[in-house]
Amino acid sequence: MPKVAIYNMQGNQVGELDLNEEIFGTEVNKPLLHQAVVGHLASLRRGTHSTKTRAMVSGGGRKPWRQKGTGRARVGSTRNPVWTKGGVAFGPHPREYGFKMPRKARRVALKSALTDKVNNGNLIVLEELNMAEPKTKEMAQILGALKAPNALVITDIENANVEKSARNIPGVTPIDAEGINVYNVLAHEKLVITKEAVARVEEVFAHA
């Protein structure tokens, strides 16, 4: 069973925590990690590019010249793709690039990402993360004490003070336990997670 240290907000170790092996001690499935990251990035593409086909451009209603006898190539419309100001053949049109992974595959990928953080010593568990008011400087001091300048900060529930304190720090992303995904986990060097958030993650994903 994986075991990690628990730290306070001053960066001092105050205990240890046994992690659920089904989530933080599984085999790392690299192909599924790759698929999850590609799927996430693909879903962010807007896909609003568009071109006009020959049916969309103006003009071209009349045949430019008769079919035979002129010595020129036969043509039916001035708006065919070969002509200037003609339509575009096989051009891009609005589409969705994202794709959905099976639910079980998504969960295996997330467990693999969390396990990878534990294996590399990049999972930092906080005893608590309570802030009376939004203070970016205070949050920077906490992350500095934990030696986590590039971190995904995970709380058990949405915490407005933590979010406002962390969101302006370059390389730091605040999120609640139910909003984590493979891309966010892998995109940050460290995972700073509260003890309550660990329990929340284990509750949601233990038997998935």
Whether residue 122 contacts residue 149, with contact meaning beta carbons closer than 8 Å, is answered with: no
CATH code where residue 150 lies:
3.40.1370.10
Q: What is the C-alpha radius of gyration for the chain, rounded to an integer number of angstroms?
A: 27
Looking at the structure, tell me whether residues 172 and 138 fall in a common domain. yes
Tally the C-alpha atoms within 13 A of residue 40's C-alpha that lie toward its C-beta: 17
The last residue of a domain, from among 61, 91, 121: 91
Looking at the structure, tell me whether residues 165 and 201 fall in a common domain. yes
Looking at the structure, tell me whether residues 27 and 111 fall in a common domain. yes
Looking at the structure, tell me whether residues 112 and 153 fall in a common domain. yes
Total structural domains in the chain? 2
CA distance 184 to 191: 10
Looking at the structure, tell me whether residues 42 and 125 fall in a common domain. yes
Q: Is the dihedral of CA 118, 122, 123, 126 positive or negative?
A: positive
Tokens of residue 1, six digits: 């069973």
The 10s digit of each residue's pLDDT in 23-79 is 999 999 999 999 999 999 999 999 999 999 999 999 888 899 999 999 999 999 999
In-domain check, residue 76: yes
pLDDT truncated to tens, each residue of the chain (208 aa)?
A: 788 999 999 999 999 999 999 999 999 999 999 999 999 999 999 999 999 999 999 988 889 999 999 999 999 999 999 999 999 999 999 999 999 999 999 999 999 999 999 999 999 999 999 888 999 999 999 999 999 999 999 998 888 999 999 999 999 999 999 889 999 999 999 999 999 999 999 988 876 5
Domain span at residue 75 reads 51-91
